[in-house]
A and B are shown apart, each in its own frame.
Chain A
Amino acid sequence: DAGVTQSPTHLIKTRGQHVTLRCSPISGHKSVSWYQQVLGQGPQFIFQYYEKEERGRGNFPDRFSARQFPNYSSELNVNALLLGDSALYLCASSLATGGNIQYFGAGTRLSVL
């Protein structure tokens, strides 16, 4: 069975550009969460979606947005990129929300120049 898949693997952008990251959850999982991980730090929660609705949002500016599709895949969008947005963006899926284990994808490494 396929795990959580993310695309692209790596991405290089310049300041001010926009980026879209994609995630496909494990088959049967209905919840997707997005995290930002800066080198040397733990993942920071950005969004959680369940059944196509936003269920949680972390302390990130409005430049960050996301959505979940009917097939439970998800996109994370970041507008007006800043140098500080350079990080590993991780997607995690789980069956539902309360107490379920989250399984992570390999991430998208974003570099903003």
Chain B
Amino acid sequence: GQNIDQPTEMTATEGAIVQINCTYQTSGFNGLFWYQQHAGEAPTFLSYNVLDGLEEKGRFSSFLSRSKGYSYLLLKELQMKDSASYLCAVRDQENSWGKFQFGAGTQVVVTP
């Protein structure tokens, strides 16, 4: 079956680093995406990995290991505005049109 797992909630202090892990089991794989979603708003794209390794974009980095079915999103120098839900999504290729499968999201709470 299809399964994407990520922790429900994480708390960290302003200025610190937080790592959000995501493990997946899907029938196919055509990329892993991370989205940020503030309460009541649309998900906004953060990063995309299709090959193994680390992708860095400013304070955010994302890592992928396809053999382990594992990714993480690293948030550095946390700011209060980073308090949000972070969604891990895998694009499968079950039917060659690659629909997105989302995890339930990790709620990150940044405290002063």
Contacts and interface: CB of A to CB of B under 8 A. Distances in A.
A39 to B, nearest CB: 10
Interface in B80-112: 87, 89, 91, 93, 95-105
A97 B41 contact: no
B25 to A, nearest CB: 15
Contacts of A4: 42
A106 B43 CA distance: 8
Interface residues of A, number: 26
Interface stretch (A11-19, A44-52, A66-74, A78-86): A44-52
Nearest to B94: A56
Nearest to B89: A42
A43 B87 contact: yes
Contacts of A101: 33, 45, 48
B97 A50 contact: yes
A99 B50 contact: yes
Interface of A: 4, 33, 35, 40-45, 48, 50, 55-56, 58, 90, 92, 97-99, 101-107
21 contacts: A4-B42, A35-B100, A40-B105, A41-B104, A42-B103, A42-B104, A45-B99, A48-B97, A48-B99, A55-B97, A56-B95, A56-B97, A56-B98, A58-B99, A90-B43, A98-B93, A98-B96, A98-B97, A99-B50, A101-B48, A104-B44
Closest 8 CB pairs of A and B: A42-B102, A55-B97, A104-B42, A56-B99, A106-B42, A56-B97, A45-B99, A104-B43
